Structure 1
Amino acid sequence: MSTPTQPAPAEAGASPATPALSNPVYAALTGPHAPFAEVRGNARRYPAAVAPFLALPEEPTEADWTDAAALVGPGTTVALMRPELPVPDTFKLDRAIDLMQFTAPAELPAADPEAIKLGPDDVPDMLALVALTDPGPFRSRTIELGTYLGIRRDGELIAMAGTRFSLPGHTEISAVCTHPSARGQGVATRLIRAVAADITAAGRSPFLHTGGSNTTAIRLYESLGFTVSNRMKVTLVKAV
């Protein structure tokens, strides 16, 4: 059915990969985020209003894929985030996007006095900023996954970042975005550091993902001391 897929070997100078980091959505939905999981057999998914991600074990069986198709439902598109693997006939492949995963250096965390905690009342502004900047999936209930921080000036939300996947020992920094009018001012860096401070205060290690072709983000993360822990794919598939 499907052949075993091994995580890509670590690059020179990269952080050592862990099984949780190589299959982060499954690690989250079978771990700290289990209360969010919609489940059928070994297949897991977030509710559609929370996140578009489907999760399967490291080496999914034919039964796992069958359960995943039933869990998702015909005509529904979901995303897998993991090393690439063959897609069976129960799903139609849409596209696969290169993804780089980075882990944070110990010196990254730093609180920021201008950063404020965002809540449900801020979601419309958060969705508007995401629509303008496209940092990746962020939906009406994504805020429930963790803590999101933002910077407002003259009442306008000009930047935000927060936590998404929660794994054993690790928490993901996500939704890093800055309004075009505020770019080049270092606000994204400040929010990344502030979110990392919250993560480390909880005894966890920060990590994040970015598109493999997003050279601007990659340069930023490397300048902050992040190191590559995995190269994987976001694979969009539709149940048939």
Structure 2
Amino acid sequence: MHPLDNPFWFSLVGPQQAWSQGNDLARRYPPEVAPFAALREPSPEAWAALAGLLEPAEGVALFGPESYQPPGGWTTLTTFPILQLIHGGAALPNRLPTADPVLLRPEDTAAMQALVGLTRPGPFAPRTPELGEYFGVWEGGQLIALAGERAHLAGFCEVSAVCVDPRAQGRGLGAVVVERVMGGILERGELPFLHVALDNAAARRLYLRLGFEERAQLQGTVVQRPSLSE
């Protein structure tokens, strides 16, 4: 298995091990950081280990080449395909940006949450920005675009939470913040990757234009641990 087929597992046993809760069978991020968990492999023992990391009836999301099939008592809340793209590592073009993204600080968290709530780019917990560097574009005292780093495994780092205020779309700000995050990843000698919904054609066109290539279609599975009464 390629590490990117199970990106959260290889993040939680690798560079993001400090965020990891679990053991050598199942791991998760703290719920205030990210709603993701991972299994080394989907064995009965791994599912039991994951259950021990969750509160009764708590749900988490897992990514893998196929949808996960949890054992009896668990509930599959939803499954969804997700397209994974990876950048080949070529140097970014030297072009004049339309805006200058700045590094976002802890005091910017409320503004980040507001923009994410407006645009809904995907899961974004209160402490998600602590997983990596996040950059944003401000205008008139308002945060109007952002992107940052989420999963981080050996040799790879995920670009995530790409969002632009609807009132500022059409100005190339998505490309500006994505390239700023990519630049930091490439400077470390790592390859950027990201995930995008299959039906988000506009985002796919943007990422392909920025040098990403489609690597694989993964499956997301949101599962819920059995309650104590089950």
- Tell me the TM-score normalized by structure 2: 0.92
Is 2:121 the partner of 1:135? Answer: yes
Q: What pairs up with 1:104-183 in 2 under 5 angstroms?
A: 104-105=87-88, 106-108=90-92, 114-183=100-169
CA distance 1:141–1:211, change in 2 (3 Å): same
Is 2:57 the partner of 1:75? Answer: yes
CA positional deviation for 1:225: 2.6
Residue 75 of structure 2: aligned partner: 92
Cα RMSD (Å): 1.6
The worse-fitting range, judged by mean Cα deviation, of 211-220 and 159-168 is: 211-220
Distance 1:109 1:39 in 2: 41
Residue 32 of structure 1: aligned partner: 15
Percent pairwise identity: 40
CA positional deviation for 1:87: 2.0
Moved over 6 A (4+): none
CA positional deviation for 1:227: 0.7
CA positional deviation for 1:205: 0.7
SS of the residue corresponding to residue 53 of structure 2 reads: helix
- The one-letter amino acid paired with 1:61 is S
Distance 1:209 1:110 in 2: 25
Distance 1:132 1:22 in 2: 30
SS of the residue corresponding to residue 50 of structure 1 reads: coil
- The one-letter amino acid paired with 2:190 is R
CA distance 1:196–1:110, change in 2 (3 Å): farther
SS of the residue corresponding to residue 143 of structure 1 reads: helix
CA positional deviation for 1:40: 4.1
SS of the residue corresponding to residue 72 of structure 1 reads: coil
CA distance 1:169–1:41, change in 2 (3 Å): closer
Of the three residues 176, 193, 199, the one matched with 1:213 is 199
CA distance 1:25–1:110, change in 2 (3 Å): farther
Paired residues in the alignment total: 222
Residue 45 of structure 2: aligned partner: 63
Residue 45 of structure 1: aligned partner: 28
Distance 2:133 2:94 in 1: 16
Distance 1:100 1:60 in 2: 21
- The one-letter amino acid paired with 1:82 is G
In the TM superposition, what whole-angstrom CA distance separates every residue of 1:156-182 from its partner, at most 9, and x where no partner exists? 100000000001000000000000110
Is the CA contact 1:110–1:196 (under 8 Å) kept in the aligned structure 2? no
The gaps in structure 1 that reach 5 residues or longer are 1-17
Distance 1:130 1:225 in 2: 25
Distance 1:193 1:31 in 2: 25
The worse-fitting range, judged by mean Cα deviation, of 186-195 and 38-47 is: 38-47
- Tell me the TM-score normalized by structure 1: 0.88
CA positional deviation for 1:234: 1.5
Distance 2:189 2:74 in 1: 39
Is 2:165 the partner of 1:184? Answer: no
SS of the residue corresponding to residue 165 of structure 1 reads: strand
